[in-house]
Amino acid sequence: MVAGHLREQNGYFQIVLSWKNAEGKRKTKSISTGLVVKGNKKRAEAMLLKMRQEFNPDNLLECSGISFSEFLMKWLNTEATLLEPEQYASITYVVKNNIIPYFKTKVVVLSALNAKDLENYYRFERQQNEATVQELMEYHRAIMTSLAYAVELGWIKYNPAETVNPYNEETSTLFTEFLLEWLEMMESKVEKSTYGGYVSAVKKSIIPYFEKQAYTLQDLEKHPKYIQEYYQTLLKSGLSSNTVLRRHANIRKCLQYAFQIGLIKSNPADRIERPRKNKYVATIYNQRELEMLFQAVQGDPLELGVILAAFYGLRRSEVVGLKWEAIDFTRKTISIQHTVTEVYIDGKSVLVQKDRTKTKSSHRTLPLVPPFEKLLRKLYIEQKNNQILCGDAYCKDYLDYIYVNAIGELITPGYISQHFPIVLKKNKLKHIRFHDLRHSCASLLYAHGVSLKEIQEWLGHSDIGTTSNIYTHLDYSSKISSANAILGIYPTDDKDVINV
């Protein structure tokens, strides 16, 4: 017999049953007796004793993976010991004759049941069976009660029936549920790398926050401040305003789709105050620091990546995507024409290989300088020897690529990002991002008299505005020259000159 006791709740007696499951975890269930406290203590105690004797915890096996129709039957078997005979008979009739037959044909899993599934059911009852308001009330009450039971036991996180109005078409949709539907729709409409970014933001940040709030699309439409509160929470947690702006872009795009298909009448994301974008100022290495870095990575798997990023200004995706066919040893050129990016979808790493660059301007041809040509020839011989040594164990998937390890596996973008700061720390070098090597390359080019236009073409920017915006600090020396020109005509006794 399970343990149990009575407690008073809002003037009524409530029964609390307690037991341990198969894993030894304590479980509880609260049941209202429907008896007011005054004058009903003995009757409530009798109900408590009866429920303790007849309640069977074996019926409470974890079953969130079963269909909703199966769950309803299990729930009925449990409720038989907890309800008055007349009440049980009424609810059993409704569940067995009206609810289970519909959901049997749909095979909806309990853990995946959402508001839309229930909306479709009530719509079916209204249109096909011409259910009356009274009948819909009975169906809804049964579903609400059963799902509240599932929430109580931890089989589902929230009760989807709470957001549904069974009497008309204007039903509410949970924002988190719609986010998942939007993600599913977007998978076939955007590139995998873009989709991976959506999945990461939505599942790791947006849904965890809004799931706790249980807001519907309609709630957000009426109260845009709920979205604003989410942004403030992110900012207070230490996230940059640029990251928050990316979350905003995801939310706005999703809500715009909800607006387009008529679920909401306006996009609430357009009625909030967005954080101000922070201008990124790159941390760069000077010539001496780069020389120290080149020495530190000699013989390290990062050596090739560091050279390509620091000397040629290649992006990480361009470094990993470099193929042997891009190297012309006769004409002494390197063609940047293929990229490899890495995205994580539902915790799994996916490599996205493209026979194109970030933009048309990123597709560029650069000179093959002697030191790098020497390194490439060395790598080519090493790879051929490794193929012979490893035999069948050598990975054959990336034979066209330059940046592979000893057994032919591609050096991934993720490995570069993770290993680079480790190398810097080990060698006591200034901390910078791997991408900052590209900025360091631009800084050195400018310092040696290369114009912004030429730097734009070397780095593969689509327009010079991008180059000048990112590398505004490079213009400082030209401003010094302008200042000195002005000083040349300034009426002073001594002609001071500003040194660069």
User: pLDDT at position 112, please?
Assistant: 87
Q: Is residue 408 part of a domain?
A: yes
Please tell me whether residues 306 and 377 are part of one structural domain.
yes
CATH number at residue 267: 1.10.150.130
CB under 8 Å to 46, separation ≥6 — which residues?
Answer: none
Instruction: Note the pLDDT of residue 250.
Output: 94
Q: Tell the burial category of 386 from Cβ atoms under 10 Å away from its Cβ (0-12, 13-18, 19+).
A: middle
Separation CA 26–CA 6 (nearest Å): 18
DSSP secondary structure string for all residues of 266-283: S-GGGGS-PPPPPPP---
Q: How far apart are CA 180 and CA 203, in angstroms?
A: 9
Last residue of a domain, one of 34, 55, 76: 55
Cα–Cα distances in Å, from 246 out to 196, 242, 249, 271, 315?
A: 13, 6, 5, 17, 21
Q: How many domains does the chain have?
A: 3
Cα-to-chain-centroid distance, residue 92: 42
Residue 401 DSSP label: B
Among 366, 390, 423, give the residue marking a domain's end. Answer: 423
Do 187 and 265 lie in one domain? The reply is: yes
Query: Do both 309 and 392 map to the same domain?
Result: yes
Residue 86 lies in a domain: no
Check whether residue 233 and residue 346 sit in a common domain.
no
Whether 78 is in a domain gets the answer no
Burial-class residue 44 by CB neighbours within 10 Å (0-12, 13-18, 19+): buried
**Which residue, 392, 408, 423, sits at the end of a domain?**
423
Shared domain for 251 and 315, answered yes or no, is no
CA dist 62 and 25 (Å) reads 12
Distance between CA 47 and CA 343 in Å, rounded? 57
Tokens for 370? 């002697």
Q: Is the pTM of this model over 0.75?
A: no
Q: Which two tokens stand for residue 491?
A: 């009426």
pLDDT for the residue 278:
76
Residues of the chain with pLDDT under 50: 61, 495, 497-498, 500
* Count of alpha carbons within 13 angstroms of residue 244, beta-carbon side: 23
**Co-location of 311 and 363 in the same domain:** yes
My answer on whether 232 and 309 are in the same domain is no
Eight-class DSSP state of 264:
S
Cα 291 from Cα 302, distance rounded (Å): 15
Strand partners, 426: none
Assess whether 328 and 263 both reside in one domain: no
**Statement to judge: residues 357 and 254 lie in one domain:** no
Instruction: Indicate whether 250 belongs to any domain.
Output: yes
DSSP symbols for 73-141 = HHHHHHHTTTS-HHHHHHHHHHIIIIIHHHHHHHT-BGGG--HHHHHHHHHHHHHTS---HHHHHHHHH
CA-nearest of 151, 143, 60 to 108 is 143
457 lies in some domain: no
Q: How many whole angstroms separate alpha carbon 96 and alpha carbon 425?
A: 66
Q: What does the pLDDT read at residue 500? A: 45
Residues 339 and 216 in one domain: no
**CA–CA gap between residue 328 and residue 94 (Å, rounded):** 76
Look up the CATH number of the domain holding residue 326.
1.10.443.10
Q: Are both 309 and 245 inside the same structural domain?
A: no
Is the sign of the CA dihedral 251, 256, 259, 261 positive or negative? negative
Which residues, other chains included, contact 248 with Cβ-Cβ below 8 Å and sequence gap of 6+?
231, 269, 272, 274, 275
Kindly state whether residue 258 falls inside one of the protein's structural domains.
Answer: yes
Structural domain boundaries, residue 3: 1-55
Q: What are phi and psi of 429, to 5 degrees?
A: -100, 155
In a domain, 130, yes or no: no
How far apart are the C-alpha atoms of 336 and 118, rounded to whole Å? 53
Smallest CA-to-CA distance from 142 within 236, 247, 69 is with 69
* Structure tokens, 423: 């190398």
User: Is residue 415 included in any domain, yes or no?
Assistant: yes
Contacts 24+ apart (CB under 8 A), 43-49: 44/6, 44/13, 44/15, 45/6, 47/15, 48/4, 48/5, 48/6, 48/15
Whether residues 189 and 234 share a domain: the answer is yes
